[in-house]
Chains A and B, each alone.
Chain A
Amino acid sequence: MSFERSTTKCALVSNISEKTAMKFDIYSFYKKMEHNDIMLSFKGDITSELLSSMLQIMETKLENLDEQPKVRKKVYNVLVECLQNLYHHRDEMRADMSGDEAKNQAIFMISKNTVEYNIMTGNFVRSDKVGSLQARIDKINAMDKDELKQYYQDVLSLEGFSEKGGGGLGFIDIARKSGQKLNYEFLKIEENFSFFSLYIKISQ
């Protein structure tokens, strides 16, 4: 009985691998990730559980790398903001539109080379929000360290609280902690949607 079951399973497995090996070139995925020094990547729905798991994985990885506490904290802090941005954005998108579940998904990657960490995120945004988002990031990118500090304090002390709680501080905080400009791009995917890519560097 058990023998029978296992042979069926084997047949099934080999059958799948033959088919998938033709359709998806897994080795080229592997090489690409290896070449880009990817530590962790994910594509899909950023749920609360997933967010917690990814933070836990990254925390362990950073500890195992024996990274300086200062850098480790910076990377972790920026990660938290980036992932929570994606998480809150997903909520907004879900409330915003019915139906197209695929547009709620996001991509997240973190890589490390000899000089820096790179955090990359991508998500769909409604095209009518692109202008204001772009203006917000450009405003942050035009500021130096002291201006960012002042701007952070101004936004923090503003009365009122956004539903998600961040109150628009996320990008300012990422810019301050990373000490670098926020690289971004908007790609128009279809009439009403664009794809927002964000690329953050953190020096070691």
Chain B
Amino acid sequence: MDKITIEGTSKTPTIIFDSEAGLLELKGRSIPENSIEFYKPVVESLDKYSQEPKDKTSVNIQLEYFNTSSSKCILDLFKKLESIHKTGKDVVINWFYEEDDEDMLEAGEDYQAIIKVPFKMIEVTN
């Protein structure tokens, strides 16, 4: 089974994907120039996971910034989660945003409008 841990940098997020635990986490900032390349291993692992997913998959997205180049890659991840959810498995996306960060809340709502997976919007107070 897959377990991916990618350390965050000033341009890329910390990513944890633990297929055994059914857990995916993105934290920090996602502003690489080439996000397709950056997200490739995670997209691939999640794709593999979606063939044989756990009964419950939890996803935590806690981003400070992300660029439009990353937004398509994040959507790709969410689409894989949507396909898991469609098979009747439990999937939840926890979308964290900092207090007053309306832009990040709206970004979460954008995904919520596109992806048919339960979203939980969670405000983080400083």
Indicate the size class of the contact surface on chain B.
20 to 34
Chain A, residues 58-74, CB within 8 Å of chain B (1/0): the string is: 00000000001110011
Are B114 and A73 neighbours in the complex by a CB distance under 8 Å?
no
Chain B, residues 67-82, CB within 8 Å of chain A (1/0): the string is: 1111111010000000
What's the Cα separation between A130 and B67 when bound, in Å?
A: 25
For residue B87, CB closer than 8 A to chain A, the reply is no
**Further pairs besides A68-B100, A73-B104: 16, Cβ < 8 Å:** A52-B10, A55-B31, A69-B98, A73-B101, A80-B67, A149-B106, A149-B110, A156-B71, A156-B110, A165-B36, A165-B70, A165-B73, A166-B69, A166-B72, A167-B68, A169-B68
Are B102 and A70 neighbours in the complex by a CB distance under 8 Å?
yes
Q: Can you list 30 A-B pairs, Cβ within 8 angstroms, ordered by A?
A: A48-B33, A51-B33, A52-B10, A52-B11, A55-B10, A68-B100, A70-B102, A73-B101, A73-B104, A77-B67, A77-B103, A81-B67, A84-B31, A84-B67, A84-B69, A153-B110, A153-B114, A156-B71, A156-B75, A157-B114, A161-B72, A164-B69, A165-B69, A166-B68, A166-B69, A167-B68, A167-B72, A169-B72, A176-B106, A177-B103
For residue B113, CB closer than 8 A to chain A, the reply is yes
Are B102 and A169 neighbours in the complex by a CB distance under 8 Å?
no
Contacts of A69 in B (CB 8 A): 98, 100-101
Q: List A132-164 residues whose CB lies under 8 Å from chain B.
A: 149, 152-153, 156-157, 161, 164
For residue A87, CB closer than 8 A to chain B, the reply is yes
Are A173 and B101 neighbours in the complex by a CB distance under 8 Å?
no
Contacts of B31 in A (CB 8 A): 55, 80, 84
The majority secondary structure among interface residues of chain B is helix
What total of A-B pairs shows CB separation below 8 Å?
73
For residue A56, CB closer than 8 A to chain B, the reply is yes
Chain B, residues 94-113, CB within 8 Å of chain A (1/0): the string is: 00001011111010001001
Are B114 and A156 neighbours in the complex by a CB distance under 8 Å?
yes
Nearest B residue to A68, CB-CB: B100
Q: Which of A70, A81, A167 contacts B101 (CB 8 A)?
A: A70
Contacts of B34 in A (CB 8 A): 165
For residue B119, CB closer than 8 A to chain A, the reply is no
The majority secondary structure among interface residues of chain A is helix
What's the Cα separation between A56 and B114 when bound, in Å?
A: 33
For residue A42, CB closer than 8 A to chain B, the reply is no
Nearest A residue to B99, CB-CB: A69
CB distance from B26 to the nearest CB of A (A): 17
Are A87 and B68 neighbours in the complex by a CB distance under 8 Å?
no
What's the Cα separation between A69 and B111 when bound, in Å?
A: 23
What's the Cα separation between A42 and B18 when bound, in Å?
A: 43
Nearest A residue to B98, CB-CB: A69
Contacts of B45 in A (CB 8 A): none
For residue A126, CB closer than 8 A to chain B, the reply is no
What's the Cα separation between A172 and B33 when bound, in Å?
A: 18
Are B110 and A87 neighbours in the complex by a CB distance under 8 Å?
no
Contacts of A153 in B (CB 8 A): 110, 113-114
